[in-house]
Amino acid sequence: MAHARALLSPLWAGPLRRYAHPFFGVMRFSPPGVPIVADHPLLAHIRGTMAPLIVLVTVPLLLRLVGQLAIVGLRDWATATRGGLAAMFCFTAVEHFNVLHPDLVRMIPPRVPAPEIMVTLTGVCELLGAAGLLLPRTRRITAVVLILLLVAVLPADIHAATTGGTLAGQPVTPLVPRVALQGLFIALVWWAGIRAGRRPAAW
């Protein structure tokens, strides 16, 4: 095994460390001697800053498909949306603990104390919120807390969008789309976790 690792390491160690994807661990791979071709800005933007929205759209659709094929409890949109929100919050929480942590710290406005602790704390809150959305007993209070969290972190998003902030070397989402996305997330958390959560559901 050690011999095999020694043989393979020239092929993967450098490229994978240099081009680590902030969400999935590996953004791209290029063997030694093969030049890295820069991404089209739109593709890089979609893969990076828009990735949470892609998760939020894809997971509920997949859950609804599973509901139609097998699991009756996944046949309503509120349940599927809670699953999508939980996946999205887990997805974004990873940023707070991996190579994007320094970028997130720089997004925090200067007036906020202990930015590194704040980034870590919000990541923990997102993970707990993802779990809480899936539990009937904690769904509504979790939704309230997540809405407050989304409002609380919005100044950091605004600060990053107006000061040239970057994530993994790519510009953050521009101000207007970012605020619109945050509004969408808040609306979905309210609808799936509070309004629709008043009636019995599978989760």
In one letter, which amino acid is 2? A
* Residues 106, 62 contacting (CB under 8 angstroms): no
52, 58, 63, 67 alpha-carbon torsion, rounded to 10°:
160
Q: What pLDDT was estimated at residue 68?
A: 82
Provide the whole-model pTM.
0.74
pLDDT tens string 12-45:
334 333 333 333 333 444 444 444 444 444 444 5
* Residues 34, 25 contacting (CB under 8 angstroms): no
Q: What pLDDT was estimated at residue 11?
A: 36
Positive or negative CA dihedral for 96, 101, 104, 105?
positive
Number of residues written out for the chain: 203
Q: What pLDDT was estimated at residue 72?
A: 72
CA 57 to chain centroid, in Å, comes to 12
